[in-house]
Copies of this chain bind each other. A is one copy, B any other.
Protein backbone atom coordinates (compact mmCIF):
# COMPACT_ATOMS: atom_id res chain seq x y z
CA UNK A 1 0.00 0.00 0.00
CA UNK A 2 2.77 2.53 0.84
CA UNK A 3 6.49 2.58 0.39
CA UNK A 4 7.78 0.42 3.17
CA UNK A 5 10.34 2.24 5.35
CA UNK A 6 13.41 0.72 6.93
CA UNK A 7 11.51 -1.04 9.66
CA UNK A 8 9.06 -2.58 7.25
CA UNK A 9 11.91 -4.15 5.31
CA UNK A 10 13.29 -5.71 8.45
CA UNK A 11 9.90 -7.02 9.45
CA UNK A 12 9.49 -8.71 6.13
CA UNK A 13 13.05 -10.06 6.20
CA UNK A 14 12.32 -11.64 9.54
CA UNK A 15 9.44 -13.52 7.98
CA UNK A 16 6.57 -11.45 9.35
CA UNK A 17 3.71 -10.52 7.09
CA UNK A 18 3.55 -6.99 5.83
CA UNK A 19 -0.08 -6.15 6.32
CA UNK A 20 -1.55 -2.70 5.57
CA UNK A 21 -2.24 -2.31 9.29
CA UNK A 22 1.37 -2.93 10.23
CA UNK A 23 2.57 -0.54 7.54
CA UNK A 24 0.21 2.13 8.85
CA UNK A 25 1.49 1.72 12.39
CA UNK A 26 5.05 1.88 11.11
CA UNK A 27 4.35 4.98 9.04
CA UNK A 28 2.81 6.73 12.01
CA UNK A 29 5.87 6.02 14.12
CA UNK A 30 8.41 6.84 11.44
CA UNK A 31 6.66 10.04 10.37
CA UNK A 32 6.36 11.28 13.92
CA UNK A 33 9.02 13.83 14.81
CA UNK A 34 8.54 13.23 18.45
CA UNK A 35 7.31 10.24 20.33
CA UNK A 36 3.85 9.01 19.65
CA UNK A 37 1.28 7.33 21.86
CA UNK A 38 -0.96 4.38 21.12
CA UNK A 39 -4.02 6.60 20.84
CA UNK A 40 -2.26 8.98 18.49
CA UNK A 41 -1.22 6.12 16.23
CA UNK A 42 -4.71 4.70 16.33
CA UNK A 43 -6.37 8.07 15.65
CA UNK A 44 -4.15 8.59 12.62
CA UNK A 45 -5.08 5.20 11.20
CA UNK A 46 -8.79 5.35 11.96
CA UNK A 47 -9.07 8.69 10.18
CA UNK A 48 -8.29 6.86 6.95
CA UNK A 49 -9.42 3.32 7.66
CA UNK A 50 -12.14 3.26 10.31
CA UNK A 51 -12.44 -0.51 10.35
CA UNK A 52 -8.99 -0.99 11.85
CA UNK A 53 -9.15 -2.13 15.43
CA UNK A 54 -7.07 -0.72 18.25
CA UNK A 55 -6.12 -4.20 19.41
CA UNK A 56 -4.21 -4.58 16.18
CA UNK A 57 -2.25 -1.47 17.02
CA UNK A 58 -1.41 -2.89 20.42
CA UNK A 59 -0.40 -6.21 18.91
CA UNK A 60 1.77 -4.55 16.30
CA UNK A 61 3.52 -2.38 18.88
CA UNK A 62 4.06 -5.45 21.03
CA UNK A 63 5.73 -7.19 18.09
CA UNK A 64 7.89 -4.23 17.12
CA UNK A 65 8.95 -3.78 20.71
CA UNK A 66 9.85 -7.43 21.07
CA UNK A 67 11.95 -7.30 17.91
CA UNK A 68 13.68 -4.15 19.12
CA UNK A 69 12.56 -2.18 16.09
CA UNK A 70 10.64 0.33 18.13
CA UNK A 71 11.36 1.63 21.60
CA UNK A 72 8.94 2.34 24.35
CA UNK A 73 9.46 5.30 26.65
CA UNK A 74 7.55 6.21 29.73
CA UNK A 75 7.36 9.98 29.77
CA UNK A 76 5.41 9.97 33.01
CA UNK A 77 1.74 10.01 33.82
CA UNK A 78 1.30 6.49 32.62
CA UNK A 79 1.45 7.64 29.06
CA UNK A 80 3.74 5.30 27.23
CA UNK A 81 5.15 6.52 23.95
CA UNK A 82 6.91 4.95 21.02
CA UNK A 83 9.61 5.87 18.58
CA UNK A 84 11.66 4.22 15.91
CA UNK A 85 14.79 2.48 17.19
CA UNK A 86 16.52 3.55 13.96
CA UNK A 87 16.48 7.16 15.02
CA UNK A 88 18.84 6.39 17.88
CA UNK A 89 18.67 6.96 21.57
CA UNK A 90 18.19 10.27 23.17
CA UNK A 91 16.73 11.71 26.31
CA UNK A 92 13.99 14.14 27.14
CA UNK A 93 13.40 17.23 29.12
CA UNK A 94 9.70 17.33 29.85
CA UNK A 95 8.24 20.68 30.89
CA UNK A 96 5.61 20.09 33.54
CA UNK A 97 4.10 23.48 32.83
CA UNK A 98 3.46 23.47 29.09
CA UNK A 99 4.18 19.85 28.29
CA UNK A 100 6.99 20.66 25.85
CA UNK A 101 9.39 17.82 25.17
CA UNK A 102 12.96 18.87 24.47
CA UNK A 103 15.37 16.32 23.08
CA UNK A 104 18.58 16.00 24.99
CA UNK A 105 21.80 14.75 23.52
CA UNK A 106 23.14 11.47 24.85
CA UNK A 107 26.53 13.00 25.57
CA UNK A 108 25.15 15.20 28.32
CA UNK A 109 24.55 12.16 30.43
CA UNK A 110 27.81 10.35 29.81
CA UNK A 111 29.55 11.85 32.81
CA UNK A 112 26.65 10.83 35.02
CA UNK A 113 26.97 7.34 33.64
CA UNK A 114 30.66 7.29 34.53
CA UNK A 115 29.99 8.47 38.08
CA UNK A 116 27.38 5.78 38.64
CA UNK A 117 29.71 3.08 37.41
CA UNK A 118 32.59 4.35 39.52
CA UNK A 119 30.77 5.08 42.75
CA UNK A 120 27.90 2.62 42.67
CA UNK A 121 29.19 -0.08 40.35
CA UNK A 122 25.91 0.35 38.55
CA UNK A 123 25.70 0.00 34.80
CA UNK A 124 23.16 2.62 33.86
CA UNK A 125 20.98 1.97 30.88
CA UNK A 126 20.15 5.61 30.30
CA UNK A 127 18.52 4.86 27.02
CA UNK A 128 15.31 6.74 27.45
CA UNK A 129 15.39 8.96 30.39
CA UNK A 130 12.80 11.60 31.04
CA UNK A 131 13.77 14.53 33.20
CA UNK A 132 10.91 16.63 34.45
CA UNK A 133 11.11 20.33 35.18
CA UNK A 134 10.39 23.70 33.67
CA UNK A 135 11.44 25.03 30.27
CA UNK A 136 12.78 28.51 29.39
CA UNK A 137 9.42 29.94 28.48
CA UNK A 138 7.62 28.70 31.53
CA UNK A 139 10.31 29.57 34.08
CA UNK A 140 9.72 33.30 33.67
Contact = CB atoms under 8 A, between A and B. Distances in A.
Interface of A: 74, 76-78, 80, 93, 95-96, 102, 104, 108-109, 111-112, 115-116, 119-127, 129, 131-136, 139
A119 B125 contact: no
A136 B119 CA distance: 11
Nearest to A127: B132
Contact of A93 (B77, B102, B122, B129): B122
A80 B74 CA distance: 12
Can you list the 4 inter-chain pairs with the closest CB atoms, starting with the nearest? A124-B133, A121-B136, A125-B133, A123-B134
A103 B124 CA distance: 14
Given A104-B116, A116-B133, A126-B131, 7 more contacts: A74-B76, A74-B78, A78-B80, A109-B112, A122-B134, A123-B134, A126-B133
